[in-house]
Structure formats: C-alpha cells, structure tokens
C-alpha cells in the first residue's frame, strides 16, 4: 500500500546541482520506504522558500510526490514559532516556565493542521479516483497533533499512524495546556501512536484516560468508539552511514588534526542544537565545577561544545545564546592558561563528516539534556567510537543524562542526573580515567543497542505494526 507522510520538514532540499535528501535520520529512513511503496510526503513551505508546491522525486524514477503547504509569515510565526516551539516543545520537556500559551497560536495551529490534513486527503482522493488502493497515512511529531482527526473525518476507514518524537509528559503536566483535550482528541483518531519509550506511551494512555475518560486496556485506548494503540517504537540512527563516515579515507586524519589543534589534551565533547532542553548551561557549570574539584586536570582536558544555531528569533533561544557566550567567556577567563582553553565553544554547524571526526577524536561524550525524547547524538557517538576502537583507535566513553530516552537503551553509558553539577563533575572524572578494556566492553554493549534501533529497522517495525491493524 502506498504511503502518505505528513511532516513539518520536507525530505529533500535544494542544492546547487538539483535536489538532495535532507540531512537527518528521518529523511534517510523514510525516503527508501517511500521510493519502494510510492505515495507522497506533505511538508511545509516556509515564508522565505520558493520551492515548487508539487514535485516528484527522485528525478529519474519519480517514485513519489513532495507536496508543500505554503505558509505566509503571520501564520508561520503563530503555528511554528508560536504553538510548536513556544508551547508544545517546552511542555513536552517539562520546562513549564518556557510555555507561553496564546489564543492566536492555538487558532493558527488548528488552521494549519487542517491544511496539512486536506493536502494529505487530496493525495488519497486522487489515488482512489484513479482506481488505486487507499494509501496509509503516517503523521510525524508535535507540529501535527490535529491532523489525524481531520483525515479520519474525510476518510473514516483510513489507516493512520502517528509518531511522537519528543517525550510525552506526565498527564498532570500535559493538562496544563488549555487545549490539552482538543489536541489529545486530534491524535486519538490515529490507529497507532508510537513513542520512543514505554514510559512516554504510558503517560499518553494515562492522559487519554484522565482527561477524556477514554478506556485503556493494555496498549489500546478506546475513545468514542475508535481504538488507538499507543506503543513504544524507539528510533535510532542510520548506522551504516555513521560507520561509513568513521571509516572513510581521511576520517582518522581529520580526527588527529582536531586533537592536535587542541594541543593534545583529553577531549570532552558536547554536540547539540542550541536549545534549552539540551542542558547546555548546566553542563558548562558542571564543567566549571569539575575544574574547581580537580585542579590537577587543568591544562589536560578541554570541553569542546558544538552548538548548532537553532530557532533563532524565538526569545528563549536568543537569550540562551547570550548566556552561553557569557558562561564560556567566564570559564575561560577564570582558568585559561598559555595555549590551553578549558572551553572550546563553537556556535556553528558542521557537516556530518566533521561531526564524525569530532566523535572519533573525543575521549568522553558529555550528553546531558534536561529531557530528550531519545537523543541521537549519543547513538552517533557510540557507533563511531565503537567502529574506530574495533579498528585499533582509542575507545571513548559516554556520560548520558538519565532523563533521555536513550538512557533506557544504552546500557554501557554512565548515567547522570543533569541537574547535579557535583555528580556530573565526579562522573566526568571517572569516565576520563576509565581503563581501556572497560571502555571497549561498554562500547560493544552500546553498539549492539544502537544497531538494534537502526532507523531503517524503526520505520519497518512501526509500519509493520500499523499494517497489522485490523488483520487480527
């Protein structure tokens, strides 16, 4: 059966030579599925974009269609920068102080979701009119909570999947939203809703029970006569791609150059979008605490923090940028000596080959989000470090926040509470001194989990479960 994907971001991007797949795991996992099954990907066209509203891809086979929903500036601001980024994102991550509910955000969100759903319905109706089978729908993430409901109203027998990429908070937190019930209702029109962990799925079922009085039996939620399953379907990375980057000619040299440029010190690495959920400021403070507690480490270790610009123009993100500049300046001002700088802060984006070189160069990856649905940086680091260690390179260690989805799966990591500066400092000290045999053992344990959750396997497992709907 063909597939209609509904997601905020498009799977392809313009390049000087035509069109190429977008970066990121979702596009690389789902493009092959779409090429195989055929169908469409419905995505947003932002106010500054000039992309065609409909195009086929890949150019040679035209296996599927990319359809854009064009948004003008005010609508984009309220739907995306507003409801998605200033309400749903912080709420899902339990950062209630960042939530700014606003009636106009809510209205724009509803209107935009309707437009996405109607674009998806159009694709299905064209298929049906041409005598083809009705496609399966797969809706992605917190930007699209009301889409299933509108699709269901248009095509009552549609098969609709939904994947939620961020944490689903406890019911008592979710209910803070004035529109909580409407949003839940919108999602419950799906047949299957997937989450990264069983804990999030359980929170979702509880929200449906507490806020809407839905009936919950096992994984199944029954609401107004419709059954929706909430299941755990953890996502991973494109393992082959990252292992390939790590083994590519020149990769080891690039990693050696990074180490040399930093003066041969031990490297503690952070890689994140510059986002307040990622725990960047507390991580800097924990590193400062580490320098206070272990003066013998001065001149021997640097924290390399790559912070990719993200959601600029949203006040909380602009403020975080200023605070990070201040914190890195403060720590360096206090401790730098000769050629050694304790913090190497890079506010820029890198290409994936460079990122893989940083993963390879790192002694410890310091991944300390305050909350994170999964966290793919942890997977990427483990995959790269494991494959390099296997080929005779230095194995790295992973320090990981226990408040991430990844903590449920990556057993070889050192788990930490991201709010505990002393605990972070002490764990960092332990991880830096970890004997090589133990690093190797932990890495091979993590590698297994990373392979198990490979993003292609994720897509396949989810779709199998969705396709099985109604077959019992």
Active site residues: 165, 372
Question: Is 374 among the residues that bind ligand GDG (CB under 6 A)?
Answer: yes
**Which of 316, 380, 424, 439: binder of ligand GDG (CB under 6 A)?**
380
Quote the DSSP letter at residue 372: B
Cα three-residue angle 171-147-77, rounded to 5 degrees: 85
Question: Is 222 among the residues that bind ligand GDG (CB under 6 A)?
Answer: no
What is the rounded CA–CA span in Å between residue 269 and residue 258? 12
Question: Is 84 among the residues that bind ligand GDG (CB under 6 A)?
Answer: no
CB of 260 to ligand GDG, least distance (A): 21
CB of 169 to ligand GDG, least distance (A): 13
**Which of 377, 384, 389, 428: binder of ligand GDG (CB under 6 A)?**
377
| Conformational region of residue 141, where left means phi above 0, alpha means psi within -120 to 50, and beta covers everything else | left
CB of 136 to ligand GDG, least distance (A): 20
CB of 438 to ligand GDG, least distance (A): 25
How, if at all, do strands 266-273 and 220-223 pair?
unpaired
Question: Is 375 among the residues that bind ligand GDG (CB under 6 A)?
Answer: yes
Question: Is 232 among the residues that bind ligand GDG (CB under 6 A)?
Answer: no
CB of 309 to ligand GDG, least distance (A): 9
Each residue of 171-191: b (16+ CB within 10 Å) or e? Answer: bebbeebebbeebbbbbbbbb
Contacts with ligand GDG, 143-182, as mask; x by CB under 6 A:
----------------------xx----------------
Which range touches ligand GDG (CB under 6 A), out of 177-185, 261-269, 289-297, 370-378? 370-378
What is the rounded CA–CA span in Å between residue 147 and residue 139? 7
CB of 430 to ligand GDG, least distance (A): 24
Question: Is 351 among the residues that bind ligand GDG (CB under 6 A)?
Answer: yes
- Using CB under 6 A as the binding rule, the residues of this chain from 50 to 69 that contact ligand GDG are none
Which range touches ligand GDG (CB under 6 A), out of 94-102, 168-176, 344-352, 428-436? 344-352
Query: Distance of CA 298 to CAs 33, 258, 288, 361, Å?
Result: 50, 19, 11, 19
Contact criterion met (CB below 8 Å) for 211 and 181 = yes
Q: The tokens of 427 are what?
A: 């764990």
Question: Is 29 among the residues that bind ligand GDG (CB under 6 A)?
Answer: no
**Which of 349, 444, 445, 465: binder of ligand GDG (CB under 6 A)?**
349
Contact criterion met (CB below 8 Å) for 59 and 44 = no
**Which of 230, 271, 383, 449: binder of ligand GDG (CB under 6 A)?**
271
Q: Which is nearer to ligand GDG, 325 or 351 (CB)?
A: 351
Q: Which is nearer to ligand GDG, 12 or 235 (CB)?
A: 235
**Which of 235, 255, 265, 428: binder of ligand GDG (CB under 6 A)?**
235
CB of 346 to ligand GDG, least distance (A): 9
Q: Which is nearer to ligand GDG, 113 or 277 (CB)?
A: 277
| Residues 6+ away with beta carbon under 8 Å from 109 | 78, 79, 82, 83, 84, 146
For 291, list phi and psi in degrees, rounded to 5. -70, -30
Reference 283, options 274, 443, 18, 461; nearest CA is 274
**Which of 372, 385, 416, 432: binder of ligand GDG (CB under 6 A)?**
372
Q: Which is nearer to ligand GDG, 166 or 291 (CB)?
A: 166
Sheet with 160-163, strands from edge to edge, namely 54-57, 64-70, 39-45, 3-6, 136-140, 160-163, 192-195, 226-232, 220-223, 215-217
How, if at all, do strands 343-346 and 364-367 pair?
unpaired
Q: Helices H, strands E: what count in the chain?
A: 17, 18
Question: Is 243 among the residues that bind ligand GDG (CB under 6 A)?
Answer: no
- Site for ligand GDG (CB under 6 A): how many residues? 19
Among positive and negative, which fits the CA dihedral 344, 346, 350, 352? positive
DSSP states of 26-64 as a string? Answer: HHHHHHHHHHHH-EEEEEEE-TT----SEEEESTTT--E
Q: Within 336-375, where are the H helices? A: 352-361
CB of 403 to ligand GDG, least distance (A): 11
Q: Which is nearer to ligand GDG, 2 or 385 (CB)?
A: 385
Question: Is 355 among the residues that bind ligand GDG (CB under 6 A)?
Answer: yes
Question: Is 288 among the residues that bind ligand GDG (CB under 6 A)?
Answer: no
Which range touches ligand GDG (CB under 6 A), out of 125-133, 198-206, 291-299, 349-357? 349-357
CB of 311 to ligand GDG, least distance (A): 11
What is the rounded CA–CA span in Å between residue 348 and residue 360? 19
| CA-derived radius of gyration, the chain | 23
Residues at the site binding ligand GDG, with contacts judged by CB under 6 A: 23, 165-166, 235, 271, 273, 308, 349-352, 355, 372-377, 380
């Amino acid at each position: 059966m063909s597939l209609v994907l509904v997601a905020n971001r498009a799977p392809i991007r313009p390049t000087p030579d035509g069109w190429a797949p977008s970066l990121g795991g979702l596009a690389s996992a789902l493009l092959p599925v779409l090429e195989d099954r055929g169908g469409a990907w419905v995505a947003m066209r932002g106010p500054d974009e000039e992309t065609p509203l409909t195009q086929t891809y890949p150019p040679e086979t035209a296996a599927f269609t990319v359809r854009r929903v064009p948004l003008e500036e005010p609508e984009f601001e309220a739907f995306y920068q507003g409801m998605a980024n200033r309400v749903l994102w912080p709420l899902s991550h339990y950062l209630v102080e960042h939530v700014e509910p606003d009636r106009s955000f809510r209205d724009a969100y509803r209107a935009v979701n309707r437009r996405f759903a109607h674009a998806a319905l159009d694709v299905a109706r064209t298929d049906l009119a041409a005598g083809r089978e009705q496609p399966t729908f797969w809706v992605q993430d917190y930007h699209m909570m009301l889409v299933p409901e509108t699709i269901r109203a248009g095509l009552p027998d549609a098969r609709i999947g939904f994947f939620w990429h961020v944490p689903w908070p406890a019911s008592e937190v979710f209910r803070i939203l004035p529109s909580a019930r409407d949003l839940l209702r919108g999602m419950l029109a799906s047949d299957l809703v997937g989450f990264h962990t069983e804990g999030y799925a359980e929170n979702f079922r509880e929200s449906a029970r507490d806020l809407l009085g839905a009936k919950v039996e096992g994984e199944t939620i029954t609401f107004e006569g419709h059954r929706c399953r909430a299941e755990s379907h953890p996502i991973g990375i494109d393992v082959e791609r990252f292992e390939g980057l790590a083994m590519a000619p020149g990769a080891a040299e690039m990693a050696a150059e990074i180490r040399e440029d930093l003066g041969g010190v031990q490297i503690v690495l952070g890689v994140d979008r510059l986002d307040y959920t990622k725990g960047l400021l507390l991580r800097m403070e924990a590193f400062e605490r580490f320098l206070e507690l272990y003066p013998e480490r001065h001149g021997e270790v640097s924290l390399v923090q790559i912070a990719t610009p993200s959601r600029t123009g949203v006040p909380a993100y602009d403020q975080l940028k200023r605070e990070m500049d201040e914190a890195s300046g403060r720590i360096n001002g206090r401790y730098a000596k000769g050629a050694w700088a304790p913090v190497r802060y890079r506010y820029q984006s890198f290409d994936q080959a460079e990122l893989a070189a940083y993963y390879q160069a790192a002694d410890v990856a310091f991944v300390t989000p305050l909350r994170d649905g999964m966290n793919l940086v942890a997977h990427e680091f483990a995959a790269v470090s494991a494959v390099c260690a296997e080929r005779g390179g230095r194995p790295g260690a992973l320090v990981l926040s226990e408040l991430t989805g990844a903590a449920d799966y990556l057993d070889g990591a050192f788990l930490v509470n991201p709010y505990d500066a002393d605990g972070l400092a002490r764990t960092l000290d332990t991880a830096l001194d970890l004997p090589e045999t133990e690093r190797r053992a932990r890495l091979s344990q993590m590698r297994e989990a990373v392979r198990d959750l490979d993003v292609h396997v994720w897509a396949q497992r989810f779709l199998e479960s969705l396709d099985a709907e109604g077959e019992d």
